[in-house]
């Protein structure tokens, strides 16, 4: 399989994962089919959309409309199987994979635009978490990423890893793979050991 094909496949799986989680949460909040589709779409595309707009590029789904297909698939699956129960173990794993792909591709995209390394780390973080943040705001539930779990920390570690490796002239593909693995491993460990960031109060 060629590398570009693999990258595109990863992007599609990540988009599908985010859409599926978004659709599930919207369905659980009692939204109608339109609301489910909209929350699914916002969950999966706002990270890349925001990242691209900040760098004065058109959103990914305008550049490549095929990205809308995995969203449609996620919505149809949710509606067809009338899934409303909380996100289970399998879907959580899919979501983590999506997080890794979104973070790695956002960081790499930012580096390609020649931004400052610190900015690339932040844009990688935004690409990873913005979708989930907007999803929760639309569903009017307290955003997971602000209150508990270690989604943001995982993405930040992953994007910082990629930027650091690229600064040390490690090959692009290797840096991205290691960075993505950091996201997955840290996220899985934090779920397993119930790590949480501390609070002030």
- 83-102: which residues touch its own copies (CB under 8 A)? 83-84
Q: Binding residue for its own copies (CB under 8 A) from 8, 12, 13, 68?
A: 68
In the complex with its own copies, which residue's Cβ is closer, 3 or 56? 56
In the complex with its own copies, which residue's Cβ is closer, 10 or 36? 36
Q: How far is the CB of 102 from its own copies (least distance, A)?
A: 16
CA dist 173 and 155 (Å) reads: 18
Assess contact for 151 and 127: CB atoms under 8 A: no
CA dist 152 and 22 (Å) reads: 17
CA dist 164 and 49 (Å) reads: 25
171 binds its own copies (CB under 8 A): no
Q: Where are the alpha helices (DSSP H) in 113-150?
A: 117-138, 144-147
CA–CA distance from 183 to each of 58, 75, 158 (Å)?
A: 26, 26, 5
Q: Binding residue for its own copies (CB under 8 A) from 8, 12, 13, 54?
A: 54
In the complex with its own copies, which residue's Cβ is closer, 20 or 145? 145
5 binds its own copies (CB under 8 A): no
Assess contact for 49 and 127: CB atoms under 8 A: no
How many residues line the site for its own copies (CB under 8 A)? 55
- 128-157: which residues touch its own copies (CB under 8 A)? 133, 137-138, 140, 142-143, 145-148, 150, 152-153
Assess contact for 48 and 58: CB atoms under 8 A: no
Q: Binding residue for its own copies (CB under 8 A) from 17, 39, 104, 160?
A: 39
In the complex with its own copies, which residue's Cβ is closer, 58 or 171? 58
Q: How far is the CB of 179 from its own copies (least distance, A)?
A: 19
In the complex with its own copies, which residue's Cβ is closer, 113 or 177? 113
CA dist 158 and 93 (Å) reads: 17
């Amino acid at each position: 399989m060629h590398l570009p094909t693999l990258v595109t496949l990863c992007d599609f799986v990540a988009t599908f994962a985010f859409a599926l989680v978004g659709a599930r949460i919207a369905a659980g909040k009692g939204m109608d089919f339109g609301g489910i589709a909209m929350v699914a779409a916002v969950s999966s595309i706002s990270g890349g959309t925001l990242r691209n707009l900040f760098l004065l590029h058109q959103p990914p789904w305008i550049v490549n409309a095929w990205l809308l297909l995995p969203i449609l698939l996620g919505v149809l699956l949710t509606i067809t199987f009338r899934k409303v129960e909380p996100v289970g173990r399998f879907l959580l794993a899919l979501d983590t994979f999506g997080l890794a792909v979104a973070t790695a591709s956002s960081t790499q995209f930012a580096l390609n635009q020649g931004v400052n390394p610190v900015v690339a780390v932040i844009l990688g973080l935004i690409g990873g978490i913005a979708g989930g943040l907007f999803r929760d705001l639309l569903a009017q539930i307290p955003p997971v990423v602000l209150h508990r779990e270690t989604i943001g920390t995982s993405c930040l570690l992953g994007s910082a890893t990629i930027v650091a490796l690229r600064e040390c002239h490690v090959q692009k593909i290797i840096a991205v793979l290691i960075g993505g693995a950091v996201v997955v491993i840290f996220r899985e460990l934090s779920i397993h050991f119930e790590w949480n960031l501390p609070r002030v109060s």
